[in-house]
Structure 1
Amino acid sequence: MEVNISLGQMVLAFVAAMGVPSAIMGFIIWRLERRIDKREKEQAAQEQGQKDLFVLIVQGTNAAIALGEATARAVQRIPDAHCNGDMHDALDYAADIKHKQKDFLTRQGVSSLMD
């Protein structure tokens, strides 16, 4: 039982044998790239959500400080409300923290622009 294979058939068999593993590896790599892209998009969306949350937290803090200051100033204007030095100290502290927060966020913004 002798098998005769021509040179053309050998070349064709060789090309087919090399093409199948290459096609399989190409498909595997394509699927892997799709997974990586999907994961990167999800991570970018999560990072954007964290940034948005941080902005809302800072805005909430500013609103709370403003409300506290307005309330303290309103109470100070009531003649029967005997405000002691604690009210003045609290107002000074709130203003100090507000300025420190503003300075910090300004530095972060400039630093972010420079990077």
Structure 2
Amino acid sequence: MAHYCRICACSKPNEQFSGKGHKSHICKECSKKPKDERCAIDQENEIFVFMRQSTISRKNIARLHKLKLSANQRVAELAAITLAVALVKPHKKCRLKVLAKEHRELFIKASESGLIYAHHY
């Protein structure tokens, strides 16, 4: 039976996972990557999940404040954009319409970073 690796987003056979890899859903190849790189991928995925949610909650906003201070530049940038979106329109309904009409610069930043695509899932 295939297992899903949350780092490389691939389904791989059982043999590609170590004992600890099964539990954490990380294949052997991805477990060889540096810990900073794996954390950055996890944090990016977390930010994209926030954009997919119907409501970005207060706890999510607090988490975005922490991610905005990340050492990884990409994660910090995505967190800052998502935080700005959450403060403007935390609910998903008509979020893109409001951003496009009233907050054009933020809409452009979100589309350039790829966060707009996460919104549609």
- What is the TM-score normalised by the length of structure 2? 0.27
- What is the TM-score normalised by the length of structure 1? 0.28
Q: Which has the higher helix share?
A: 1
Rg (Cα) greater in structure: 1
Q: Which has the higher strand share?
A: 2
